[in-house]
Amino acid sequence: MDRIRRLIDDIRDYGINNDVPIMSEDSIDTIVKIIKDNNVKSILEIGTAIAYSTICFASSGIDKITSIERDKVRFEIAKTNVSKSGLNNIELICDDALNVSIEDKYDMVIIDAAKSQNRRFLDKYKNNINDNGIIIIDNLDFHGYVGKGSEIKSRNLRQMVRKIEKFLEYLDNQDEFDVEYIEVGDRLGICKKKNI
Ligand SMILES: C[S@@+](CC[C@H](N)C(=O)[O-])C[C@H]1O[C@@H](n2cnc3c(N)ncnc32)[C@H](O)[C@@H]1O
């Protein structure tokens, strides 16, 4: 395990030094706690990047994690990192998650990809959740910009933030999931299917 811990530290340093966006350590710790508290055994992750979070979750006692990344360069780095980890419970898929067809059901789905597409990822992958499964969405505060959309000068950034704000409005008004927000990292949304 020390070897995996060292690998995880190296991947985190690489991500920070090469501008690869990765989850904050407190978000990882919070999700690992949710995994353990809920006896989560299988995870589908949208947004692998270089497999930093993937390896953290894969080494937390679960049976399997499937992770999807569309960027080929990052995917190759992720593959190398997974191979270095020696873990055999990780399946990596290189594709656009909006085009992939996955039949399996998972105890947890983690959405950490293009932030403007959260609604589309949720609509698509809610079908891959087991009963009592959990969907986690990262970066719902988007670096503190959410709620301040009208003050943002850059058109692209403003549009992206507006999409996250619209997504949050949708979460507030839907009745399929119970939603809880955890103020760690860049704010996590935790969605649990309501048992109706
Ligand atoms: C925030 S990073 C993921 C970080 C990773 N979960 C971690 O914490 O180590 C988001 C990744 O999602 C990928 N991505 C964005 N949209 C995607 C899509 N539609 N399908 C697959 N991957 C996507 C990006 O290329 C990027 O590498």
Q: How many Å lie between the centroid of ligand 1 and the Cα of residue 37? A: 26
> At 196, is the pLDDT very low, low, confident or very high (cuts 50, 70, 90)?
low
Amino acid at 58: A
pLDDT above 70 (res 1): no
C-alpha 45 – ligand 1 centre gap (Å): 9
CA distance linking residue 58 with residue 54, whole number of Å: 6
Query: How close is the Cα of 26 to the center of ligand 1, in Å?
Result: 19
What is the per-residue pLDDT across 125-144, written as a single tens digit (0 to 9) for each? 999 999 999 999 999 999 89
CA distances from 62 to 7, 55, 81, 131 (A): 19, 11, 18, 17
Q: Which residues line ligand 1 (CB under 6 A)?
A: 21-23, 47, 49, 52-53, 68-71, 74, 96-98, 112-114, 117
Provide the number of structural domains found in the chain.
Answer: 1
105 HSE (CA, 13 A, CB side): 8
> How much is the average pLDDT of 174-185?
96
Residue among 56, 64, 59 at smallest CA distance from 26? 56
Condensed to tens digits (0 to 9), the pLDDT of residues 30-52 reads 999 999 999 999 999 999 999 99
Residue pLDDT, tens place only, 148-178: 878 888 999 999 999 999 999 999 999 999 9
Residue 195 scores a pLDDT above 80: no
Atom of ligand 1 nearest to the CA of 113: 12
For residue 85, the domain's CATH number is 3.40.50.150
Could you tell me the sign of the dihedral formed by the alpha carbons of 6, 10, 13, 19, in that order? Answer: negative
- pLDDT 10s digits, 98-114: 999 999 999 999 999 99
Q: In which domain, by residue range, is 112 found?
A: 2-193
91, 65 in Cβ contact below 8 A?
A: yes
Question: Which of 24, 28, 46 is the best mutation target for the ligand 1 pocket, counting ligand atoms within 8 Å of the beta carbon and taking the most?
Answer: 46
Q: What is the CA angle 154-165-181, rounded to 5?
A: 130
For residue 11, which atom of ligand 1 is closest to its CA?
Answer: 9
Report which protein residue has its CA nearest ligand 1's atom 4: 22
pLDDT of residue 149: 76
Write the residue with the smallest CA distance to atom 1 of ligand 1: 21
